[in-house]
Structures are given as C-alpha cells and as structure tokens.
Structure 1
Amino acid sequence: MQVIRPVGRDAGSKKYDILSAMMAHALAGDKHRQRQIMRLMALITARYNWQRNELSVGQREIARLWCVDERTVKREMARFRALGWLEIKRQGARGRVSVLELDLDRIMLDTKAEWPNIGEDFVSRVGGATPAAPADNTVVPFRRLSVEPGEGLWAAMRHHLRQEDAALFDAWFAGLADEGIEGGCLTLTAPTRFHATYIQTHLQDRLIIAARRCGTVISRLRVLSP
C-alpha cells in the first residue's frame, strides 16, 4: 500500500484523501463507529497539526468540542490508542497536556476495505502496491506458507495479518515461527538475520496491534534469527 504523506505540493489533496477514507469507513459501519470516527475527524480538522503530526489539546477542550463529559473523552481516546490510530508522542507533565500523533499508515490500512465505496479513481490514487523491502543479498528465499487453521495467539494473528494485507503477509510474516509468550513478550523466529532485523525495525507495531486485536495485549516483541 502506498503511504500518504500530507506534505509538499499536493498536501491539500492528500489531507482530503485521508479524511475521505475515514468518512467512508465510518459510513460503512453502525452508528457507534460513525460517531467515534466523526469525533476524531472533528479533532483533526479543528486541532491537528498536519505538518508536525501533532495533536495537543486537553480533555476539557475535547469534551467541549464533542459535547460530552471528560470520562467519555478518556474512553474514546483510549479506544483510538488501542486501535493504533493515536499514539503518545510526548507525555504530559507539570500542567502540560500530552502531545499525540496520528498513525496515518494504520488509519489507511484499517479503512482500505471501504475505499471502493469512494470510487475506483480513489483506489488507484491511494492504493498502489506494498512497498518492496530494501534489496539484500543475505536474504534466503523461503517457501511461501499457507495460512492453516490453528489454535493459539499466533494462529489468530496470522489469519488477521493475512486478511489485512496479503502481500505484506507473504513477504514478511508467513515465514515467522512462534516461540511462545513469556512475561508479556511474544517471541518469533525469522528465517534470516536480515528478516528478523527488518521485522523489529519496520513491522513491530503492526504485530503488537494484531495481537491486541486478537484479544491479547503484549508489551514486547522479540524476533530471533537462526
């Protein structure tokens, strides 16, 4: 999937593309999803700094904008963090509110199923192909693995990751082997050292979110190599 960066000459149209994807995702869901996405879109249009990828606003101000109480704000912001759409960039301290950032890659990935509702031109413009990994002669080709039904967290994660992005799954996740969870840390084994390093550097967050969406919260991820 092509990553949208709302900066540069076409920043304005890219911002509309992101908001359009969120809108289509909301309209395809029930009233609870629609209200949740509308609230985040209100924050984005009113308070989000696109250039710096920063959202800095207190819970009292958010409650006033959403016309809700602060407890509702806490719940909704926690849900967005659990989805991986919002992340803490700088923790608040000494009377200063926390600075949050949007994970635009995650948002676009989660809204991808609804892109065709906007139009084929939109799909063509923002879809693209999954970025190829950097070339490395140390990578040993491995057999593509099918996603067989199974039990346990890793089996559920494999199914989720395959549904989410088949090309990315085949390239990076299919060759991983489960070594279990201990102390909140999920350990996986990759076929090569480069493969393990790439997963840790570029795809760790996606695995942690996949575990969370499969009903298990992990605090760390470790990828070993032979």
Structure 2
Amino acid sequence: MLSSKKAVGRGSATRKYDLLTILGTYALSQGKTLQRQTLRLICLITARYNWQNDHLSVGQTEIARLWSVNPRTVKREMAAFRDRGWLVEKRPAARGRVTLYGLGIARILDDTREVWEKVGPDLVERLTPEPQSAEPSKVIPFPQVSLPPEDTLWGRVAQLLSLEDAALYRSWFAALEPLEGGAGELVLKAPSAFHATYVTTHLMPRIESALRSVAPGSRCRIC
C-alpha cells in the first residue's frame, strides 16, 4: 500500500509508479491549467525528488529552467502546491540555502482518489488500507479522526465502524456526511461519485452491519 510514509524498501518501485500514475491520470481529467500545473510537479518529482529521504531541494532558477518558465511563475506554482498540501515545507530558505520540501503524499492520495478506478482495480486495492490484523501492531497509529456526535444515528454507526477498523474509517467512512432521510433510512453523501460507488460496491456490508446493531430494520443509501 502507498501510504504517507516514504516510498522506500520492498515494493517501493511500485509505490513510486503508483503515485506518478495517479498524478498523471488526475491531471488528464482536469482543465488545461491544472493539467499543466500537475505535469510540472510530476517533472519536478521525477527529476529532483529524493524518495529515500522525502527531500525536494531545488532552487527557483533551476526549476524555471526545468519548466521553461520565469522565476515569477515558479514562485506562484510552488506556493500553489504548498497551499494545496501537495508540497510540505520542511525547512525555509536562508542565505545560501534553498527551501527544503517534502511530498504531501497523504493529501495527494486524498485529492486524486476519484481517478484511482480509471487506472484499474489492482491500483485501488494497493492504495486502499488493509484491515487491521488481530496481532499487536508495531506501527505507530495515525491521529484519531473526530467522530460525528454520538446522539445521532450516523454518529453511533460511525463509532462502531471506527472501532472495527480505524484505518478504513479514516480512508472511506470519515468523509461521508449524513443527510436528512425518511423514517428508518440513513442517507450518506459521499465527496465524489467515485467515492460513493466504491463504498456502495465494496463497503456497504460493513455499514449495514453496524446500522443493524444500533437501529435494527433501518436501511442505508449512499449518494
């Protein structure tokens, strides 16, 4: 699985290609401005990103030459990448030293999730967090995601889903928002059509199981 960690070690080559592939696929699904901007990031990653250390340290003059633009354009584009969370500033520029960046891999994955299925189910499977093992984990857990209020139907269902698999909840369930539905119906709005399709196709049994536990006879619908 490609995670927010550095793409090194066993399977690192696949993780690198997965990241570049989803960036390219995402770019091709967007308008010309975002296409060009994302292509510039891909070019910068391919040419100068250090996967081992999660370091991107390149001067604006060199970037301008690489992109065939002027330094003003470089400054604007790098600021846009920072604002979007695709680049994370690790060390500011100083006299004789350029800014050191890292890749915001978690944010890139989140922003490009809607195009994963266009690449293929194998990539979706690689990028989707695996269910947690029953054996004790040595991996440091991610920060907890805030849950909906427990006095709501979705809040009680979300609590069970999070306890069952926190990583899966963060990746797919946390982004769902409850809408007003009919009696005995839980209606959830997904952030994108791809997200809605994936949850409906692959994860609906988990939601329905939790829903039966807190409100027997209720049904769920994703939109």
Q: How does 1:1-226 map to 2 (within 5 A)?
A: 3=3, 5=5, 6-128=7-129, 142-144=150-152, 166-169=172-175
The CA deviation string for residues 26-83 of structure 1, in whole angstroms up to 9 with x for no partner, is 0111111111111000000000001110100000000000000000001100110110
5+ residue gaps, structure 2, are 134-140, 156-169, 179-223
Amino acid at match of 1:108: L
Which whole-Å CA distance do the structure 1 matches of 2:69 and 2:117 have between them? 33
The 1:41/1:117 distance shift into structure 2, 3 A limit, reads same
Which whole-Å CA distance do the structure 2 matches of 1:115 and 1:144 have between them? 32
The 1:92/1:4 distance shift into structure 2, 3 A limit, reads closer
- Deviation, structure 1 residue 21: 0.8
Amino acid at match of 2:67: W
TM-score, normalised via structure 2 length:
0.60
The 1:53/1:61 distance shift into structure 2, 3 A limit, reads same
Residue of structure 2 in register with 1:205 after alignment: none
The CA deviation string for residues 72-118 of structure 1, in whole angstroms up to 9 with x for no partner, is 00110011011011111011111210101111011011000001110
* SS of residue in 1 equivalent to 2:93: coil
The 1:144/1:54 distance shift into structure 2, 3 A limit, reads farther
* SS of residue in 2 equivalent to 1:18: helix
5+ residue gaps, structure 1, are 148-163, 175-226
The CA deviation string for residues 142-188 of structure 1, in whole angstroms up to 9 with x for no partner, is 244669xxxxxxxxxxxxxxxx9651246xx99xxxxxxxxxxxxxx
Moved more, 117-126 or 74-83: 117-126
The 1:90/1:130 distance shift into structure 2, 3 A limit, reads farther
Which whole-Å CA distance do the structure 2 matches of 1:2 and 1:14 have between them? 5
Amino acid at match of 1:168: A
TM-score, normalised via structure 1 length:
0.59
Amino acid at match of 1:64: R
Amino acid at match of 1:3: S
Determine if contact 1:4/1:126 at 8 Å carries over to the other structure. no
Q: Taking every aligned residue pair, what percent have the same amino acid on both sides?
A: 45
Amino acid at match of 1:121: D
Which whole-Å CA distance do the structure 2 matches of 1:166 and 1:125 have between them? 15
Amino acid at match of 2:80: R
Report how many aligned residue pairs link the two structures.
Answer: 152
Which whole-Å CA distance do the structure 1 matches of 2:28 and 2:132 have between them? 29
The 1:107/1:130 distance shift into structure 2, 3 A limit, reads farther
* SS of residue in 1 equivalent to 2:3: coil
Which whole-Å CA distance do the structure 2 matches of 1:12 and 1:121 have between them? 15
Which whole-Å CA distance do the structure 1 matches of 2:172 and 2:113 have between them? 13
- Deviation, structure 1 residue 130: 8.5
Which whole-Å CA distance do the structure 2 matches of 1:143 and 1:131 have between them? 27
